[in-house]
Structure 1
Amino acid sequence: MKDSFLSCKLMAPSEIKVIINGPLNKEDNRPFLLITDSDNIETLRVEKMTPFSGGWSYDLRSYNELELGHQYDIVLDGFSRYPLEVTNAINFPGFDKKYFYDGDDLGAIYHPARTSFKLWAPLASQVILRLDEGGSSRLLVMNRHSNGIYHLNVAGDLDGISYVYIVTNNGIAVITTDPYAFGSTQNGEKSVVINFDKVALPLNGDKLPPFKKYTDAIIYETSVRDLTMDPLLDFEHPGRFLGMIQKGVKTQKGYPAGFDYIVNSGITHLQLMPIYDFQTVDEREPARFYNWGYDPQQYFVPEGSFASDLTNPYSRIRDLKLLVATYHEQGIRIVMDVVFNHVYHAHLSVFEKVVPTYYFRRRKDGRLSNGSFCGNDVASERLMVRKLIVDATIYWIKTFGIDGYRFDLMSNIDIATARLIEQTTKAIKPEIMLYGEGWNMPTELPEGDRSSMFNSDKLPNFAFFNDSFRDTVKGPTMDDRLKERGYLLGASSFRLGFKFTFVGSCLDLIFPSKFASANQSINYVECHDNGTLFDKMLASNGNESYQVRLKRLRLINSVTMLAFGIPFFHMGQEVGLSKNGDLNSYKSGD
Structure 2
Amino acid sequence: MTSMKDTYFHAKLISFEKIRLICFSSLPFDPHRYEFRCEGKKILVSLERLNSVSGISIADFALSSPLKLGHEYTVLIPGFGTIPVDVDDASTFPEFDSLYSCPEEVLGASYSPERTLFSLWAPLASACFLKARFKNEERWRIYPMKRGEKGVYRLSLEGDQDGLIYLYCIRNSGLESEVTDLYAKASLPNGEASVVLDFARLSIPLHRECVKPRLQSQAVIYEGSVRDLTIDPHTDIANKGKFLGLIEKGRRTEAGNPAGFDYLLSLGFTHLQLLPFYDFKTVDERNPSRSYNWGYDPAQYFVPEGSYCSDVEDPSSRIKELKRMVAGFHEEGIGIVMDVVYNHVYGFEDSPFQKTVPNYYFRRRGNGSMANTSGCGDDFASERPMARSLILSCCKHWIEEYGVDGFRFDLMGILDADTLLQIQKMAKGINPSFLLYGEGWNMGGEVACPLGRMENYASLPEYGFFNDFFRETAKFYFSGRESLLQKAQYCFASSSVPFHERARFLSAGQSLNYVECHDNSTYFDFLSEVRPDFTEEEKLDACLAASAFVLLSFGVPFLHSGQEIGASKWGEGNTYNKGDSYNKFPYRLLDERKEMAEKVASFLSFRKEHPEFSLSDPKDIEKALDLREEGPCLVAQVKSEGGKTITVFFNPCQSDYNIGEEWGEYRLCSKLGLKKASRKGIVPGLSATVYIR
Shorter chain as normaliser: what TM range? over 0.9
Is contact 2:91-2:358 (8 Å) kept? no
Is contact 2:31-2:47 (8 Å) kept? no
In structure 1, the partner of 2:18 is 15
Is contact 1:5-1:18 (8 Å) kept? no
In structure 1, the partner of 2:532 is 542
Post-superposition offset of 1:21? 2.0
1:152-197: CA deviations, max 9, x gaps? 1011221111100000000100111000000000000100011102
Is contact 1:30-1:76 (8 Å) kept? no
In structure 1, the partner of 2:394 is 392
Q: Which moved more, 1:100-109 or 1:329-338?
A: 100-109
Change (3 A) 1:377 1:29: closer
The yes-or-no answer on 1:520 pairing with 2:521 is no
Is contact 1:5-1:82 (8 Å) kept? no
Is contact 1:439-1:453 (8 Å) kept? yes
Is contact 2:36-2:76 (8 Å) kept? yes
Spell out the pairing of 1:477-488 with structure 2 (5 A cutoff): 486-488=476-478
CA distance in 1, matches of 2:43, 2:111: 43
- Counterpart amino acid of 1:101? C
Change (3 A) 1:4 1:139: farther
SS at match of 2:293: coil
Is contact 2:91-2:360 (8 Å) kept? yes
Post-superposition offset of 1:496? 1.8
In structure 1, the partner of 2:151 is 148
Change (3 A) 1:127 1:337: same
Q: Which moved more, 1:151-160 or 1:137-146?
A: 151-160
Of the candidates 521, 524, 546, which is equivalent to residue 531 of structure 1?
Answer: 521
Is contact 2:191-2:300 (8 Å) kept? yes
Change (3 A) 1:30 1:94: closer
In structure 2, the partner of 1:578 is 568
In structure 1, the partner of 2:429 is 427
In structure 2, the partner of 1:328 is 330
CA distance in 2, matches of 1:210, 1:126: 49
In structure 2, the partner of 1:159 is 162
SS at match of 1:313: coil
SS at match of 1:397: helix
In structure 1, the partner of 2:122 is 121
CA distance in 1, matches of 2:194, 2:391: 19
In structure 1, the partner of 2:356 is 354
Post-superposition offset of 1:443? 2.2
Post-superposition offset of 1:357? 0.7
Is contact 2:362-2:378 (8 Å) kept? yes
- Counterpart amino acid of 1:305? S
In structure 1, the partner of 2:212 is 209
The yes-or-no answer on 1:106 pairing with 2:107 is yes
Post-superposition offset of 1:582? 1.7
CA distance in 2, matches of 1:69, 1:29: 26
Q: Which moved more, 1:71-80 or 1:299-308?
A: 71-80
SS at match of 2:168: strand
SS at match of 1:264: helix
TM-score, structure 1 length as denominator? Answer: 0.95
Is contact 2:103-2:385 (8 Å) kept? no
Q: Which moved more, 1:103-112 or 1:391-400?
A: 103-112
1:334-367: CA deviations, max 9, x gaps? 0000000001101011100000010000000111
In structure 2, the partner of 1:563 is 553
In structure 1, the partner of 2:622 is none
Post-superposition offset of 1:43? 4.1
Change (3 A) 1:104 1:397: farther
Is contact 1:370-1:442 (8 Å) kept? no
Is contact 2:89-2:358 (8 Å) kept? no
CA distance in 1, matches of 2:314, 2:114: 22
Spell out the pairing of 1:67-82 with structure 2 (5 A cutoff): 67-82=68-83
Is contact 1:324-1:402 (8 Å) kept? yes
Between the aligned residues of both structures, percent identity stands at: 45
CA distance in 1, matches of 2:321, 2:491: 40
CA distance in 2, matches of 1:210, 1:57: 65
Is contact 1:214-1:519 (8 Å) kept? yes
In structure 2, the partner of 1:373 is 375
Is contact 1:561-1:567 (8 Å) kept? yes
CA distance in 2, matches of 1:547, 1:102: 57
- Counterpart amino acid of 1:304? G
CA distance in 2, matches of 1:396, 1:454: 28
In structure 2, the partner of 1:89 is 90
Post-superposition offset of 1:488? 1.4
SS at match of 1:84: strand
SS at match of 1:375: coil
In structure 2, the partner of 1:470 is 471
Post-superposition offset of 1:79? 2.8
Post-superposition offset of 1:104? 5.4
The yes-or-no answer on 1:49 pairing with 2:50 is yes
Post-superposition offset of 1:550? 2.0
Post-superposition offset of 1:4? 4.4
CA distance in 1, matches of 2:446, 2:6: 39
In structure 2, the partner of 1:226 is 228
1:524-543: CA deviations, max 9, x gaps? 00100121111111112221
In structure 1, the partner of 2:257 is 255
The yes-or-no answer on 1:500 pairing with 2:490 is yes
CA distance in 2, matches of 1:179, 1:218: 34
Q: Which moved more, 1:169-178 or 1:103-112?
A: 103-112
- Counterpart amino acid of 1:77? P
1:59-82: CA deviations, max 9, x gaps? 101212110000100112223311
Is contact 2:342-2:410 (8 Å) kept? yes
Is contact 1:463-1:519 (8 Å) kept? yes
Post-superposition offset of 1:449? 1.3
Is contact 1:100-1:384 (8 Å) kept? yes
Is contact 1:5-1:79 (8 Å) kept? no
- Counterpart amino acid of 2:283? V
CA distance in 1, matches of 2:489, 2:338: 32
- Counterpart amino acid of 2:247? I
In structure 1, the partner of 2:188 is 185
CA distance in 1, matches of 2:141, 2:158: 13
Is contact 1:276-1:298 (8 Å) kept? yes
Q: Which moved more, 1:95-104 or 1:560-569?
A: 95-104
SS at match of 1:224: coil
1:306-354: CA deviations, max 9, x gaps? 0111211000000000011110000000000000000110101110000
Is contact 1:4-1:80 (8 Å) kept? no
Post-superposition offset of 1:230? 0.6
Ranges of 4+ aligned residues in structure 1 off by more than 6 Å: none
Post-superposition offset of 1:296? 0.2
1:378-404: CA deviations, max 9, x gaps? 011111001111111111000000100
- Counterpart amino acid of 1:328? H
How many residue pairs get matched? 575
CA distance in 1, matches of 2:389, 2:430: 16
SS at match of 2:267: coil
Which runs of no fewer than 5 residues in structure 1 stay unpaired? 475-485
Q: Which has the larger radius of gyration?
A: 2
Is contact 1:334-1:402 (8 Å) kept? yes
Change (3 A) 1:487 1:501: same
Is contact 2:189-2:312 (8 Å) kept? yes
- Counterpart amino acid of 2:231? M
Is contact 1:372-1:443 (8 Å) kept? no
SS at match of 1:281: coil
Post-superposition offset of 1:109? 1.3
Is contact 2:7-2:26 (8 Å) kept? no
Is contact 1:4-1:79 (8 Å) kept? no
Q: Which moved more, 1:256-265 or 1:519-528?
A: 256-265
